[in-house]
Structure 1
Amino acid sequence: MSLRDGINNFYERLVEDAIDATRQDSDTADFLTDVMCVALNRLPTRYYRHSIDMMFYLGDDELRAMKQKSLAAVQEARDFVESHQRD
């Protein structure tokens, strides 16, 4: 068993939700994966072991701010990936 088993970054979930909210019909799986990577690289990490603990200890204002940061990072990442696609 690795010590990393069960440790997650809370922003991964928020970025995935933001991607789902901004998804377009023309988006491919590869494009969205690139968007997720770029967005996550632009956000801080927020590790947790048990998701229930993370939700319990986060205040409403902090969670709202994290969601807004995630959405902004996804929108910026979409623009970045679109402008750097190979033909």
Structure 2
Amino acid sequence: MKLDNDIHNYYEHLVIEHLTELGIDKTKSADYVSDLSCIVLNQLPPRYIRFQVDMAFYMPQHDRIEMEMKVKEAIERAINYLDSKDLRKQHETT
């Protein structure tokens, strides 16, 4: 049995959208962005959907705002974690 290819976690879309808004994909390496995305998504509850339009039309506005806030907070925590980890690594090699 195989799951439908359309099934995905809605938070993935929100995370990518916010990372793009922050310009992270332009200022950091692909490895950093991948690590960051994994750390962020692991902080958020899964919200699986088949079609993007399902969330756009059927989710109340306050739920969307709450989800966006959770994404922003998770990204901030993940950036702080990765940057502090990189800083520690730099101090260990010098």
Asked whether the two chains share a fold, i.e. TM above 0.5, the reply is yes
Q: CA RMSD in A?
A: 1.7
C-alpha distance in 2 between matches for 1:26 and 1:9: 25
- Residue 84 of structure 1: SS of its match in structure 2? helix
Q: Paired residue for 1:2?
A: 2
Aligned to 1:82: 83
Counterpart of 1:16 in structure 2 is: 16
Mapping 1:26-45, distance limit 5 Å? 26-45=27-46
User: Partner of 2:27: helix, strand, or coil?
Assistant: coil
Q: Given the two structures, how large is their TM-score scaled by the length of structure 1?
A: 0.87
- Tell me how many residue pairs correspond in the alignment: 87
Pick the structure with more helix per residue.
Answer: 2
| Residue identity opposite 1:26 in structure 2 | T
Bigger Rg, structure 1 or 2: 2
Stretches of structure 2 lacking an aligned partner (at least 5 in a row): none
Deviation at 1:46, TM superposition (A): 0.4
